[in-house]
Each structure stands twice: as C-alpha cells, then as structure tokens.
Chains A and B, each alone.
Chain A
Amino acid sequence: DVKVTQSSRYLVKRTGEKVFLECVQDMDHENMFWYRQDPGLGLRLIYFSYDVKMKEKGDIPEGYSVSREKKERFSLILESASTNQTSMYLCASSLLRTGANEQFFGPGTRLTVL
C-alpha cells in the first residue's frame, strides 16, 4: 500500500528555533511537495522537488527552505520559526511530473510556534 509518513503529528516550538519537518515516501516517487494548510486559506504550496537535490519554490516559500538528499526523503526547514508559521504542514508525493498524476498525502504535522 502506498505510504507517505511524516516525522511528527504534533510539534510545539519556540520563536526563533530551527525546525525540521521530515517526510518519507516508500513508493519510489520522483516528485515530492510541501504544503501548509490554514483555516479559510485551503492548501498552499511551499516548495516542491522533482528529483534528488532539485527544488522549486511554490507559492509561499518565504521563511522556509527544503532539502532532498535522497529520493524517498524531503525535509522542510524553518530556519527561525515565527508565530505566523503556526499551521498544519502536509507532505505529498507523486510518481511522475505530469498533470495526470495523483498526489499521495501524509497525515500532516500540526506545528505550533509559541
């Protein structure tokens, strides 16, 4: 069965801390994505990657960076967490880089920055 896992379901951090959110997929997918989800705003794309060591900015990359050293793992990094980064973070993957491909989502990490 297809699986995308995220390192934590819930995370509480303090302002200014460096935060790592990890995502692992076991489907040998080329493409991986990071979104954040906020009430009333739906899902917004932060970054995506279509190959190892490749990354592209999504719609709201400010304040975030990403790392993809291995095909199965895609990390989202908050260099200096701020309270406006309190959100639900969702990781997804898809097999191919075409519009016809479905995305598989992880369960999400609810991050609270105090």
Chain B
Amino acid sequence: DAKTTQPNSMESNEEEPVHLPCNHSTISGTDYIHWYRQLPSQGPEYVIHGLTSNVNNRMASLAIAEDRKSSTLILHRATLRDAAVYYCILRDGYGNKLVFGAGTILRVKS
C-alpha cells in the first residue's frame, strides 16, 4: 500500500501563509491525494483533493509535484481556527482503500 509521510508538527503565525508538505513516493497512477483536517474533539473534515493538477477551493490550495511523489497543502492566511491535525491521504481510483499518515499538528500563534 502506498504510504504518506508528513512532519509531526508545524507552527505558523496568524495571517501568514502555511505550507504543509506530504511525501508519497510510492503513489500509484490511480491514487488521488486528499487532505483532511481534524479539530480537537471532532471528526475529520475534508479540505481538498487532486490527482495531477494543482487545485484551489475556498479553504486551501493543493500543489502537486510533477512526478506526483509529493504534494503541499497551502493555507493562504492561517487563522487560529486552522489549528488542527492535517492528514495527507491517498485514495485509490476505486475508492476502496484509504491510507492515512500520522498527520501534522499545526499550531497557529496569534
């Protein structure tokens, strides 16, 4: 199974951009890259996903390397409410298997 590797934790200042990296060197051609986040005492929440091209939505941007072996979640202006654990997840094209990394704890300082 393809695995993901993320830093254990990162810190950011409020109102500054945050770049959360993820390595997935064994990604297969049919794997989608998903990002979820989990706030304290809540279930995970979908953030964004992509396959090959960079993606933007109201929450974040996803930059995918040309060889697809790594990706970066970009929060353009971090707020205190963005403090959470961020998971980089590979999901195969058939949707059956999800591979969760340990996640990155994002701390946002005011």
Binding site for B on A (CB under 8 A): 4, 31, 33, 40-45, 48, 50, 56, 90, 92, 94, 96-108
Q: What per-residue 1/0 map shows which CB atoms of B13-49 lie under 8 Å from chain A?
A: 0000000000000000011101010000111111001
B98 at interface, CB cutoff 8 A: yes
Number of contacting residues on B, CB 8 A?
26
Complex Cα distance, B49 from A48, in Å, reads 21
Interface residues of B in 71-110 (CB under 8 A from A): 87, 91-98, 100-103
B51 at interface, CB cutoff 8 A: yes
Contacts of B46 in A (CB 8 A): 102-104
Contacts of A90 in B (CB 8 A): 43-44
Residue of B nearest to A56 (CB): B96
Is A43 touching B100 in the complex (CB atoms < 8 A)? Answer: yes
Beyond the given pairs A97-B96, A103-B46, 19 more chain A to chain B contacts, judged by CB atoms under 8 angstroms and listed by A's residue number, are A4-B43, A31-B95, A33-B98, A41-B102, A42-B100, A42-B102, A43-B44, A44-B100, A45-B97, A92-B43, A92-B44, A99-B31, A99-B32, A99-B51, A99-B95, A102-B49, A103-B98, A107-B41, A107-B43
Complex Cα distance, B36 from A101, in Å, reads 12
Residue of A nearest to B93 (CB): A99
What is the distance, in angstroms, from B66's C-beta to the closest C-beta of chain A? 20
Complex Cα distance, B87 from A45, in Å, reads 14
